[in-house]
Amino acid sequence: MALLPSPLHFSTSHITTSTVVALCVFFTLICACIIIGHLLEENRWANESIVALLLGMCAGTVVLLVTKFNSNRILIFSEDLFFLYLLPPIIFNAGFQVKKKQFFKNFTTILLFGVIGTVISFCLISVGALLLIQRIGISNLGIKDYLAIGAILSATDSVCTLQVLNQDETPFLYSIVFGEGVVNDATSIVLFNSVQSLDFSSIDAITALKLLGTFLYLFFTSTALGIVVGLLSAYIIKTLYLGRHSTDREVALMMLMAYLSYIIAELLSLSGILTIFFCGIVMSHYTWHNVTGSSRTTTRHSFATISFIAETFIFIYVGMDALDIDQWEKSKASSIGTSVAVSSTLFALVLIGRAAFVFPIANITNCIKKRESTKIEFRSQVFGSITKPLIEAVQPRHLKPSIFDSTDNPEDLRFQLLENNAPINQQSNHQPFQRRSRLRLLMSYPTTTVHCFWRKFDDKVMRPVFGGRGFVPFVPVSSSSAEAEEIS
């Protein structure tokens, strides 16, 4: 009684009403979104993201009418809200649920797309913007600003794209798009920070090397931090066997340590996204196998749920923000013609920038890709694969564009959905490439060899220490259902 700040109990009426209203509106919208999304589940044209966007727009309109065109913002979307509370669960869950085998098999492709692709895109957009925007008549921007624009616009946001992809149905595409998004993000942060800090009066080879060094430092320290925190959580839970007393403590510890990895990375100015992503991977490989059966079910579903709520929240906010009066008025202040010209120029540059690296790199990596595909092919010949000519005709054409702007272009969405419905049969049209297998074997060997070594190392050193599948006595889930019966 004396310990808790009891007087606070009475100030309920002093809670910021605007926050309560905003929370009420957003949570109601998310609920509506879940229900409508569920009802439209069978509809191939709609998914929860689109429902969330539309609902957000409707809500924005209503708020606009209620406030008599003063504002449609009932919640200010602060950077803190996004970076500290919404993004971490999404990325962590992605790492936690990602198919690890698939992801690491395609690691080289992902790195190629992520690093080189972003750099190409950055250069193209910066140079393009420098040349084109000056022609439009805007001359108050320095070289630094153009480079910053390049760095910002070379970052893709994979959250949207991943909404239309399905990990189970298109595992290869999903892992590439997702992995690229994570790496791409890190690259862009490095580029942006470098652009801000570099002295552009003296660009030379040393500066470039420094940039590369910074990137490598950021990439490896972020990854290492995530792995260390993940392993620490596995070790603590394995050694203490917390589940003996309470499932909830295990779950709490996993959640808190995952979040801590992100926060620590942010404190050290690393890429929190990379860190929490790898923390998720390590946790699903070790920690998850060390907890009790009910903790496994709980963590798996609660991480997914939190991530789902955060995503839906973002989509609803974006929908509401589309009608932002303030922004429209600001753009009115400058000439409409100019802003349209600038927007379309940048949009075109982004598309060109993405296309410029997606197509060449996709062709290069096809050599590696085919190795994986032929592997699958052997199996599918065993099980008898049914080839659908129509989808095959569609897929080779749309496999690459779909990586780059599925959310910009509504038409691509349709093809995405088509792809989702299709079984992974595209490997059958890789047969003509089998003659190139020597080069492919050479290029894909590293991955396989590394995987082999890793397996041995994992079984002999890592799993005995940190636990993992088969190294911890399994507590059957039935105990949780027995527990579950206790309530009521």
Residues 356-385 close enough to bind a second copy by CB under 8 A? none
284 binds a second copy, rule: CB under 8 A: yes
294 binds a second copy, rule: CB under 8 A: yes
* Stretch binding a second copy (CB under 8 A), from 356-364, 365-373, 382-390, 401-409: 401-409
Out of 272, 353, 401, 467, name the contact with a second copy by CB under 8 A.
272
Q: Return d(Cα 269, Cα 263) in angstroms, integer.
A: 10
x/- letters, 311..330, toward a second copy (CB under 8 A): ---xx--x--x---------
410 binds a second copy, rule: CB under 8 A: no
Report the site for a second copy in 19-58 (rule: CB under 8 A).
19-21, 23-24, 27-28, 30-31, 34-35, 37-39, 41, 53
487 binds a second copy, rule: CB under 8 A: yes
Out of 44, 245, 379, 436, name the contact with a second copy by CB under 8 A.
245
Q: Residue 203 in 3-state DSSP?
A: coil
293 binds a second copy, rule: CB under 8 A: yes
Cβ-based nearer residue to a second copy, 461 or 477: 477
Are 183 and 357 contacting, i.e. CB atoms less than 8 angstroms apart?
no
Q: Return d(Cα 177, Cα 165) in angstroms, integer.
A: 9
Q: Return d(Cα 259, Cα 83) in angstroms, integer.
A: 12
Class of residue 49 by CB neighbours under 10 A (exposed 0-12, middle 13-18, buried 19+): buried
Q: In Å, how far from its chain's centre is CA 103? A: 13
Are 227 and 233 contacting, i.e. CB atoms less than 8 angstroms apart?
no
* Stretch binding a second copy (CB under 8 A), from 68-76, 334-342, 402-410, 451-459: 402-410
Out of 194, 275, 295, 444, name the contact with a second copy by CB under 8 A.
295
CB of 35 to a second copy, least distance (A): 7
251 binds a second copy, rule: CB under 8 A: yes
Are 253 and 237 contacting, i.e. CB atoms less than 8 angstroms apart?
yes
Cβ-based nearer residue to a second copy, 296 or 371: 296
CB of 19 to a second copy, least distance (A): 6
Where residue 27 falls (left for φ over 0; alpha for ψ -120 to 50; beta otherwise) is: alpha
Cβ-based nearer residue to a second copy, 445 or 474: 474
Q: Return d(Cα 342, Cα 136) in angstroms, integer.
A: 8
CB of 79 to a second copy, least distance (A): 5
Out of 66, 131, 340, 477, name the contact with a second copy by CB under 8 A.
477
Report the site for a second copy in 67-96 (rule: CB under 8 A).
77, 79-80, 82-84, 96
CB of 180 to a second copy, least distance (A): 12
355 binds a second copy, rule: CB under 8 A: no
Residue 372 is classified by DSSP as H
| Cα–Cα distances in angstroms (integers) from residue 106 to residues 175, 234, 380, in the given order | 8, 26, 20
Q: Return d(Cα 454, Cα 435) in angstroms, integer.
A: 30
Task: Report residue 62 as tokens.
Answer: 């209503």
Out of 44, 210, 301, 330, name the contact with a second copy by CB under 8 A.
301
Q: Which residue has the tokens 């620590």?
A: 264
Q: Return d(Cα 270, Cα 275) in angstroms, integer.
A: 8
